[in-house]
Amino acid sequence: MTEHHLQQRRLRISDIIVVDHRTLRKALGGTIVGNTMEWYDVGVFGYLITTMGPVFLPESDRAVQNLFLLGTFAATFIARPLGGIFFGWLGDKIGRQKVLAMTLLLMAAATFVVGLLPGYRVLGIWSAVLLVATKLVQGFSTGGEYSGATTFVCEHAPDRRRGFFVSFLDMGSYLGFALGAALVSVLQLLLGEAQMEAWGWRIPFLIAGPLGAVAIYFRMKIEESPAFKATLEAEAVAAAHHETGDELRPVGPVGIFKDHWRRIVLAMILVAAGNSVGYALTSYMPTYLTSTKGYDEIHGTLLTVPVLVVMAVCIPLAGRLADRIGRRPVLWIGAISTVALSLPAFLLIAIGTVPATLAGLALVAFPVTFFVPNLASALPALFPTAHRYAAMGIAYNFAVAIFGGTTPFIIASLIQATGNDLMPAFYLMATSAIAAVTIYFLPESARRHLPGSMPSVDSEDAARELVATQDANPLLEMDTLPFDRSYEAARASHRGRPERPTAM
User: What range does the domain containing 101 cover?
Assistant: 17-225+243-441
Q: What is the pLDDT of residue 501?
A: 35
pTM: 0.85
**More confident call, 340 vs 3:** 340
Q: What is the pLDDT of residue 42?
A: 80
Please state, in angstroms and as integers, the Cα–Cα distance from residue 406 to each residue in 78, 95, 133, 224, 298, following that order.
Answer: 9, 30, 17, 33, 24
In 19-91, the DSSP E strands lie at none
CB 11 within 8 A of CB 478: yes
What is the average pLDDT across 284-309? Answer: 80
Please state the domain count of the chain. Answer: 1
Lowest mean pLDDT among 267-276, 420-429, 479-488: 479-488
Q: What is the pLDDT of residue 484?
A: 61
Position 105, amino acid: L
Question: Quick check: 226 pLDDT over 80?
Answer: yes
Look at residues 98, 129, 114 and name the one whose alpha carbon lies nearest to residue 206. 114
Asked, for residue 195, whether it belongs to a domain, the answer is: yes
Asked, for residue 200, whether it belongs to a domain, the answer is: yes
Query: What average pLDDT is seen over the chain?
Result: 86
Asked, for residue 37, whether it belongs to a domain, the answer is: yes
pLDDT per position as a tens digit, 170-184: 999 999 988 988 898
Question: Quick check: 442 pLDDT over 70?
Answer: yes
Asked, for residue 119, whether it belongs to a domain, the answer is: yes
Question: Quick check: 495 pLDDT over 70?
Answer: no
Q: Note the maximum CA span of the chain.
A: 77
pLDDT per position as a tens digit, 85-102: 999 999 998 989 999 999
Q: What is the pLDDT of residue 388?
A: 93
**More confident call, 226 vs 378:** 378
Asked, for residue 342, whether it belongs to a domain, the answer is: yes
Asked, for residue 124, whether it belongs to a domain, the answer is: yes
Question: Quick check: 503 pLDDT over 80?
Answer: no
Name the packing angle between helices 125-142 and 21-47 (round to 10°): 160
Q: What is the pLDDT of residue 15?
A: 86
CB 339 within 8 A of CB 436: yes
Q: What is the pLDDT of residue 18?
A: 92
CB 55 within 8 A of CB 205: no
What is the average pLDDT across 151-157? Answer: 93
Planar angle of CA 92, 499, 478, nearest 5 degrees: 60
Confidence of residue 499 (pLDDT cuts 50, 70, 90): very low
CB 31 within 8 A of CB 149: yes
pLDDT per position as a tens digit, 314-373: 999 999 999 999 999 999 999 999 999 999 999 999 888 889 999 999 999 999 999 988
Asked, for residue 268, whether it belongs to a domain, the answer is: yes
**More confident call, 237 vs 76:** 76
CB 315 within 8 A of CB 329: no
What is the average pLDDT across 270-275? Answer: 93
What is the average pLDDT across 233-239? Answer: 66
What is the average pLDDT across 434-456? Answer: 93
CATH of the domain at 58: 1.20.1250.20
What is the average pLDDT across 141-148? Answer: 91
Q: What is the pLDDT of residue 280?
A: 87
Asked, for residue 98, whether it belongs to a domain, the answer is: yes
Confidence of residue 497 (pLDDT cuts 50, 70, 90): very low
Question: Quick check: 5 pLDDT over 50?
Answer: no
Q: What is the pLDDT of residue 238?
A: 60
What is the average pLDDT across 301-310? Answer: 86
- 61: Cβ contacts below 8 Å, ≥ 6 apart: none
